Structure formats: structure tokens, C-alpha cells
Structure 1
Amino acid sequence: MLNRQVAPKAYMLKDLSLTKPEVKKLSNDVSVHIIQDDTNPVLKIDILYPAGRTNDNKPGESLICAKVLVEGTKSYPGSELQELLDHYGAHLDFAVDYDYTTVSLLCLKEHINTLLPVLKSAIKEPLFEDKDFEKIKLQQLQKIRVNNQKNSLIATRNLRKNLLQGTPYASILEEDELNAIHKEDIENYFNKYFALQPDIIVAGDFDEDIFNYFDEYFGNLEFKPNEPQYTGKLNPNLEEKKIEREGSVQASIRMGAISIPRDHPDYFDLSITNEILGGYFGSRLMKNIREDKGYTYGIYSVLINYKHVDYHIIGADVKIDHIEDTIQEVYHEMEDLKTNRVPEEEIETIKNYMLGKIASSLDTVFHQSENYKVKLSEGADYIDYFDAYVKSIRNITAERILEISKKYFSEEYCVIKVA
């Protein structure tokens, strides 16, 4: 009989089973990155453009452009587009990041020849009708108003505004900026940035016939090869800030410091050390501030990486009476990592947790596709990156964690308090 008083044995993950993508060129030199999996007759297509929110002339242009883009096209106007997608059980979507924009199509393999013209129409001939433009603006306006009532979002946005000052990453979309966007602005954004040469990532049951369909529909399109210029100059404002809001029942705290990019030699070890600090449910911040002190339901510590800026953020929603106590305890935990060796048992726990986390993030072809897309946008080799990450996790030592903590948790932190 199973003894539920004894924990099951833990085993270290041996290898990651990653599918090495095949890269093929269309007639116009656009790269198609193929992650093959014939176990399921589904295809996910991502068209990745090298432009996003950092390229906005007015804050919000890229977001509004992408949302209106999938409302209708010249070949599939209005509700006709959605009805066609519904008929074939397909999904057309977009994602706008700070550095990139992705237009995605998910569909059954058997319908790909019917739906590729729809995807082509979306990226080459959107309608940008007045009614769609105004509808999307109204939806975003309502979203802004709702978000402006949430202490957590106010804190996060103000941290970005101060810490990333001088760069487009500090930009915050407010009502005034949204109201300043005209339809001509998003049309100009589309004409300028959707003319740049994208990469196409395809995951699923792909074959030579489908590649020929891609070349037929996309291989004759003209794109510009150059990426947009980046003009930001980071000038962090580390001054502590408290925002008082009448009627708040709890406070939001955000602490941030400039960090290192993913291609830095210390990045993997810093990522592991950060997990120990506040990256998972069993982290030191969670045990101290949630379990021992009862100041919060949850606290997190995350490394955030963009193309031109990188930073470390710690965040929590806490009882108003314990704002300063919480901040003090965060510094205490960072100081402890800088002065005392992490016990071997804790290191083994974090190794098993992180290896399992990586494995679960790569357990399907679509998860692999998402990870590959990120690595492609960063200019990193997908296979080498994860091999090196796993190696770092397996080899991390208490001495290395101590060294990394001293080096990176001694940075000056910007602190935002909203209550």
C-alpha cells in the first residue's frame, strides 16, 4: 500500500528532447522556420515582425494597429473574416511586444491552403475602417480607466516609468495619448513597419506541399530588409516614490534595478539565484513575507529582458500597515544571500524545480515554437541556449550563488509604493 507519509523520490532531469528547427527560404528570401511534429494534424503559423511598442511615434499606435488589423481586410471585410475563421475552426490573432509584433494563425493542416490567403490578406491589405478603429479605441479607453483603479498596475507602471526613464520602454499609454491617435497614425505605422521583412515560424504537421503553398502566397511579397533604429538612452530615476490613493485597502510595492541581458555570462546563474530569492512558491521571500510574517498572499521576483533594456523587479500586494516592514524584509533576504551559503538541500530543491519548469515549458511542439520565437528574436541559438541553461542549473554551487548575490543584489533599487 502507498505510504502517503513518505514523499516520492525525486530524479534529476537527464535530457531535453528538443526538435531542431529546419530553416527554408521562400523565393523572396523570407525565412520559414519549421518545427516538425506529425503526431497532430494542426499547424501554428507565426509571422514575426521586428517592430513593436518601442517604435510608436505616439504611444499605443502599434497596439491599436494590430487590433484593427484583424477586424477585416479588403478581401474579407467585416464579419466575413470571422465567419470564415469560425467555419474552419481557425484562430487569427496578434501579439504586440515592446520589440516585436506577431500575427498568428492556428488551423487544421487540411485547411491550410484555404486559410493562407486569409493570413496574407491580414498582413497586406487590412481595411482600417473608421467604425473598427473607433471601437478598438473605446475598448482600450475603458481598459485604461479600469487599470487606473488597480494599485498593482499603478505601481508597476510607475516603476517602469522611473527605472527605464529615457527609453521607449518607460512609455505608459494614458487616456490623453490614446485620444491623440488618429486612424492615419495607425495606417502610417502599418505602412512603415509591416513592410519590414519578417520571419515565419511554423509548428506542427508540415510537409513539402505546405511549403509550396507558403511560397505561392508569401514568396512574391516585397519587404524591406532593415530593422528600425533605436534611439533610447537609459537614464534611471531611482528616487523612492509613494502614491497615496484614498480608499485603498491594501498597498502595492514594486522594487526594481537595472540588470543584465540573457547573453551575459552570468545570466543563467543569476536566474537560478533569483528563483531562490523569489521565483517560486517555496522561495525565501514567500517563506518569510507570506508564511512567517503574513504580510501578503504572494510576492515575486522576476528578471525581465527586452532587446535594449534588462531589469529585476520584485513585487507584492501587502497590508497597508506593513509596507516598510515588507521592504525591509526583502533587503534582509537579499543580504542573507550575499553573506551566507545556501544549504545543499535548498540547492537540490531549486535544481529539480527549475529543470522541471524548463521541461514543462517545452513539452509540446507549440511550447517549443514559442520558446524558439523568443530565441530567434534575441539572435540566440535555440538548442544551445537551453543546453547551456540546463548545464548551469546542474552545476550551480553555493559558492557561485554567494558570488552572484554579492554582484547583483547590491544594486540600488527604485522603490514604488501605492496605498
Structure 2
Amino acid sequence: MSLDRTTAPPFIIPEEISFIKPTKRTLPNGVHLYFNSTPNLGAVRIEVNGESLRGELGVTKKMVSFFTLHMLLEGTVTKSGAELDDFFDYYASEVEIISSFEHQGIALLTTKKHFSSVLPVFRELMTEAVFPEKELQKLKSQKALNISIQFEKNAVRASHLFRQQLFGESHPYGMISEERDVALINREDLVDYYQNYLWVNPEIFIAGDLTENELELIENVLGDLPVHSYQSTPPQFANIGKELLIENREKSVQSSVRLGCHLIPKTHPDYHALSVFNTFLGGYFGSRLIKNIREDKGHTYGIYSSIGGLKSSDYWVIAADVKKEYTSEVLDEIYKELEILQYQEIPIEELETVRNYLIGNLLSTFSSSFELINRFKGIHQAGLDLSFYENRLSFLKNFQAADIQRTGQQLISQDYFVGSIVG
């Protein structure tokens, strides 16, 4: 029987989704390990992910964590940086640096075939790094040049200033790294951070076709990893609203715009409704901001809104690069679309389009065990479990326009906004 390729297959929404929870083990050093099995898949990914204590370093050493992490591959007690590169290349393996506002660490992507050979060297990066002075100076020079170049880009500068407005310029999340900060870094700073601040409250996340013997190998290799326990309290942020920070650049033909505010955490009962509200406004390519400012008016190539995640609360940002002469008009249109979405009836066709888009997007993010362990990590670090996604599917299948608009009215206000314009 031949297939009829002129008709798309029907879109079927599953009644429910269920996930195989990662297996949890506790290593001898107290570190929790979460493992998802991937039968018949020859790749293995292991991530050691700890809490970031950048706030403990003070303003003058705000770049220490960056240099410490990026120097791990520049040499260990037994191997030079070049030898490490050759080793991981030979075994078709990659080491990835993990760095965010609240977390830091490293990850290894390798093959099941070579896993036992590569794991001990991966461990060396966590305990035997030597931070050679010559390579540090080279990296400092590269970073200083990169900062100089990035500062010239309107979009980068606008994002920096937005963070400063949102979190405060004295808070670690709002601090902007400058060339002079690079000069303050020395090797002793890196060694101290490596020994005392790097592996704080770490957890291990693994996906791969690993046997019990291979999991025991991980326990043996990482079970005595020196770790640090630290009882931290997530920072609390409040929306206070500020005038937009404007940095004029006369030669620019475009302005980079960033607007946003603090939101509720993922544990809040209205979180799913708020995330759907974001999708309607600017969270996908058919959003209202895209249709108005890109398609109808042609003032920008792209405009979007997105939600960033933190432990205590998420945050919201609307971002666009627009023709400079239309900057004020674009701001007015953003506020107008926000108010329309909050108070004017959402058409049924648009409602169902967004519903189907979000359900399809949700299901597509679990197409592999590698993605599942990443999704688990994200909500686990927010204090949730995989039922978060089961509840999300249930909400997406049943939400009504009134649910979305009520949440938008209650939790989003122009009075909360901070932002920046560079151009």
C-alpha cells in the first residue's frame, strides 16, 4: 500500500505522559548520582554539577570562577594541555564546561566502548589541575580582547545592562565583567577557588548504556572526590521598577532593547499559566510580538520573550534589535500587545494553535534519555520532580483563555519593568 503524502497525519495528543525516574545512588563521599539507562545507545554523558558561590568572592574577584573552570583542560599533574587534547580526541570524547548563575561544573561525553579508559582522566581534571602560568596569561589576554569586542556589540551591552538593572550592580548576577577585572586575576586565586569553592554540594547526572559494573566503577573513581558542603539561602528579588537605562551610540543604525521583571518560581501553582502567557506574547515564532513588530511593521528581524530560571524565582525578558528610528514606537507596541493579551479576548483559533504548539514542543523535548536527564536536572535543582511535566501536559490540554489572562493580569505589570536600550 502506498502512502498518501498529500495529507498530513493527524495530530494526536496523548492522554498522559509518564517518565522513568532516574535511578538514585549515593557515593561514599555523600554525593548523589542520578542515572538514566539508554539501552543500545553507544554514547555516555556524565555531568558533575555543583553550586556556584560567586557571591562569596567579592567584586574584585568576580572572574575567578570563569578562569578556574576554563583552565581545567590546560594541564594536570600527569598531562599537559596538549596531551589532554590529544587524549580526548583519540577516544572521541569531549569535555564541556558548565557555568550559570547558580551552578558550575564539567561534563564528559564519550563512548561506552572507551568509558572506563576516559573516566579516570576526567577525574584528574577535578583534582589534579595545575593551572600553568603561561596558559593563564594567554587565556587572560584572549578574554580581555573578547570583552573589548563584546562591549562594542549593542545586543551584548544591552543584556549586560539589563542584568544590572534586574539584579542590582552589586549582586553577583548583575555584575558586569570588564577588561580591568581580568588583570586582577592571578594563579593563586584559581588554586584557592579550585580547592575550596569549586565542588560545592555537587550532584552527578548520567545517561548511558552502563552496566552495574560500570556504575560501580564510577563510584570507585568519584566516590572519594573532595567535596564541600555549604548551606546557602537562595537570594530573594523584588520588582521595584526603574526607568529604562539608555546608552546612546550615535553611529549605530539599530537599537538593542531589553525589558523584563522578576517572576514566580516553578513551584508556584500559576507557573504553567504564566509560561503559556509568555508564549502567546513572544515565546514562539507565531507570537503576537513577531506578527506585529516583525511581520506587520518590519521594525526588527526578530523579537522574543523568554523565561530564565533561578531557584527562588524565575525572571522574564523581552529582547529585540530594532531599527533605531523606531525604538520608541517598538516600546509602545510591546506595551500595547501586553495589555491586549491581558484584557482582550483571545481568539479560539490562536488559543488552539498555541496549545498544540506547546504540547508538541513538550513531547519533543523528551525524545531521548539524554534530554530526559537534562530536563530532570533542571526541575530537580528547582526542588521539583518529573511530575512537573505530567502536570504541565495536563494544564496544556485543558487551559482556557481566562486562566492565561487572569495570571497575566495578576503577575505582569508595566510598573514592574526594568530594562535597557543601547544604540
TM range, normalised to the smaller chain?
over 0.9
Q: Is 1:291 the equivalent of 2:292? A: no
Instruction: Quote the Cα distance in structure 1 between the aligned partners of 2:322 and 2:4.
Output: 40
Deviation at 1:234, TM superposition (A): 5.8
Give the TM-score of the pair, scaled to structure 1: 0.94
Residue 169 of structure 1 aligns to a residue whose secondary structure is: coil
Equivalent residues of 1:51, 1:228 under 8 A apart: no
Matches within 5 A, 1:217-256: 217-228=221-232, 238-256=242-260
Deviation at 1:229, TM superposition (A): 5.9
Matches within 5 A, 1:141-220: 141-165=144-168, 166-220=170-224
User: What residue number does 2:44 align with?
Assistant: 43
Cα deviation, 1:331-357, whole Å, max 9, x if unaligned, reads: 111111121121221111111111111
Equivalent residues of 2:16, 2:394 under 8 A apart: no
Instruction: Quote the Cα distance in structure 1 between the aligned partners of 2:153 and 2:56.
Output: 27
Query: Could you tell me which of 253, 261, 276 is aligned with 1:272?
Result: 276
Residue 191 of structure 1 aligns to a residue whose secondary structure is: helix
Matches within 5 A, 1:17-416: 18-51=19-52, 53-57=54-58, 58-165=61-168, 166-228=170-232, 238-381=242-385, 383-412=386-415, 413-416=417-420
Residue 110 of structure 1 aligns to a residue whose secondary structure is: coil
Equivalent residues of 1:71, 1:132 under 8 A apart: yes
Instruction: Quote the Cα distance in structure 2 between the aligned partners of 1:361 and 1:45.
Output: 19
Which amino acid is the alignment partner of residue 62 of structure 2?
P
Equivalent residues of 1:50, 1:227 under 8 A apart: no
Equivalent residues of 1:164, 1:234 under 8 A apart: no
Give the TM-score of the pair, scaled to structure 2: 0.93
Instruction: Quote the Cα distance in structure 1 between the aligned partners of 2:56 and 2:47.
Output: 20
Residue 168 of structure 1 aligns to a residue whose secondary structure is: coil
Cα distance change on mapping 1:8 and 1:331 into 2, 3 Å: farther
Segments of 5+ residues of structure 1 without an aligned counterpart are none
Deviation at 1:151, TM superposition (A): 0.7
Residue 214 of structure 1 aligns to a residue whose secondary structure is: helix
Deviation at 1:56, TM superposition (A): 4.1
Equivalent residues of 1:255, 1:416 under 8 A apart: yes
CA RMSD of aligned residues (A): 2.1
Cα deviation, 1:77-118, whole Å, max 9, x if unaligned, reads: 221111111111111121111111121111111212211111
Cα distance change on mapping 1:408 and 1:229 into 2, 3 Å: closer
Equivalent residues of 1:30, 1:197 under 8 A apart: yes
Equivalent residues of 2:154, 2:255 under 8 A apart: yes
Which amino acid is the alignment partner of residue 394 of structure 2?
K
Instruction: Quote the Cα distance in structure 1 between the aligned partners of 2:94 and 2:140.
Output: 22
Segments of 5+ residues of structure 2 without an aligned counterpart are none
Residue 74 of structure 2 aligns to a residue whose secondary structure is: coil
Deviates more, 1:190-199 or 1:233-242: 233-242
Cα distance change on mapping 1:301 and 1:231 into 2, 3 Å: closer
Identity %: 31
Equivalent residues of 1:55, 1:228 under 8 A apart: no
Cα distance change on mapping 1:307 and 1:230 into 2, 3 Å: closer
Equivalent residues of 1:27, 1:215 under 8 A apart: yes
Which amino acid is the alignment partner of residue 156 of structure 1?
S
Equivalent residues of 1:159, 1:415 under 8 A apart: yes
Cα distance change on mapping 1:338 and 1:229 into 2, 3 Å: closer
Cα distance change on mapping 1:258 and 1:27 into 2, 3 Å: closer
Which amino acid is the alignment partner of residue 403 of structure 1?
R
Equivalent residue pairs, number = 417
Equivalent residues of 1:52, 1:97 under 8 A apart: no
